[in-house]
Amino acid sequence: MTKKPLARPRPMYLEMAQQLAAEIKNGDYQAGDLLPFDGDLADTYGVSKHTVRSAIAELRSMGLVYTQQGKGTLVRDQGGAAPAVTIDRSVQRSGKAWRLSDLPEHEPPAVTRTTLEGRVAALLGQPDQDAISVDRLLSDPATGVRAAHRMLIPLATAAEVPSLAEVPDVPPSDLLKQLSEAGKTLTFKEHVTARAPYPDERITLGLTDSSPLLISYRITAETRDGEEHPLLCEELRAPASCELVFAVAAAKAATQRTPRRSASA
């Protein structure tokens, strides 16, 4: 009289999510369509509402659908074709004037003083040193997509170029101009990763679900004595509905030097 565990290799909610995902990508559900509601899906699949919710949570975290309380579960407009917002991370220069393309500010920047720690400290090579932090909340007027931008000016850099610290909440390109006028040759590296947002980030960025966050650090460095010395660090946190675009520099590899310490180059 023992129950047959059905010998299913994968959990039912994943099976269900995979099937629904296939149907969405197959076009059975068009973008903007409402998925059948919890109860109906539970009946047709012969499972409980809870299992349906787990499956839908999977679909949501995959970015295939989004849900609105009181309305239903809607299929995302995803030919996978176009991201909601394209954030251009290119750097342009004409003489000592720089041009960065950024989203418009949503609020006036907040200037604070912080201690460098974590990934930022590692990238700047200045753990436990102090820095001026300029925090901005950016917003794309067309879509309402928000992103958080933080410009970190280490005190060591401000000591070299004091004008940076006087009015730190100017556009980032102005800071680059001041560094150029101080005689520095600037290079740029971007470090990109992703993670799920923290609860407070979900609020400030206006995220409805826990879809991932793109994290990008732009390190502005000067090349001195053949070595790169980091001067500034910008941190950008944007929802994954965005796409970051980089114009990649094709460095000349005449001299074969590999100063990178990365495990896998």
Partner DNA sequence: TATCATTTGTTCGTATGTATC
Partner DNA sequence: CGATACATACGAACAAATGAT
* Site residues for DNA per CB under 7 A: 3, 5, 8-9, 11-14, 35, 37-39, 46-51, 53-54, 56, 67-73
Interface with a copy of itself, residue 79, by CB under 8 A: yes
| Residue 224: Cβ within 10 Å count | 10
Whose Cβ is closer to a copy of itself: residue 87's or residue 148's?
87
The first and second tokens of residue 99, run together, are 């041009």
Matching residue, tokens 């010998």: 7
- Please say whether the beta carbons of 147 and 103 come within 8 A: yes
Least distance (Å) from a copy of itself to the CB of residue 102? Answer: 8
What is the 8-class DSSP label of residue 213?
A: E
Interface with a copy of itself, residue 7, by CB under 8 A: no
- Please say whether the beta carbons of 201 and 214 come within 8 A: no
Whose Cβ is closer to DNA: residue 54's or residue 78's?
54
Residues 36-75 that bind a copy of itself (CB under 8 A): 58, 61-63
Whose Cβ is closer to a copy of itself: residue 108's or residue 118's?
118
List helix spans (H) across 30-162.
38-45, 49-61, 118-124, 155-160
Q: Residue 25 phi/psi, 5° resolution?
A: -70, -25
Give the number of residues in contact with a copy of itself, rule: CB under 8 A.
Answer: 79
Which of DNA, a copy of itself, none sits in contact with 32, Cβ below 5 to 8 A by type? none
Which x/- pattern, by CB under 8 A, does the window 99-138 give for a copy of itself?
x-x-xx------------xxx-xx----------------
| Residue 195: Cβ within 10 Å count | 11
For a copy of itself, the binding residue among 12, 66, 210, 229 (CB under 8 A) is 210
Interface with a copy of itself, residue 80, by CB under 8 A: yes
Stretch that binds a copy of itself, among 26-34, 38-46, 164-172, 240-248 (CB under 8 A): 240-248
CA–chain centroid gap for 126, Å, is 23
Whose Cβ is closer to a copy of itself: residue 93's or residue 162's?
93
Which of a copy of itself, DNA, none sits in contact with 128, Cβ below 5 to 8 A by type? none
Strands (E), 83-212: 85-88, 91-94, 97-100, 110-115, 130-139, 146-154, 186-195
Q: CA–CA separation, 58 vs 64, rounded Å?
A: 9
222's CB contacts (< 8 A; 6+ apart) are 179, 184, 185, 186, 187, 228, 229, 231
Which of DNA, a copy of itself, none sits in contact with 26, Cβ below 5 to 8 A by type? none
Whose Cβ is closer to DNA: residue 69's or residue 258's?
69
Interface with a copy of itself, residue 169, by CB under 8 A: no
Whose Cβ is closer to DNA: residue 12's or residue 155's?
12
Q: CA–CA separation, 254 vs 14, rounded Å?
A: 51
- Please say whether the beta carbons of 195 and 161 come within 8 A: no
Least distance (Å) from a copy of itself to the CB of residue 200? Answer: 7
Which of a copy of itself, DNA, none sits in contact with 114, Cβ below 5 to 8 A by type? none
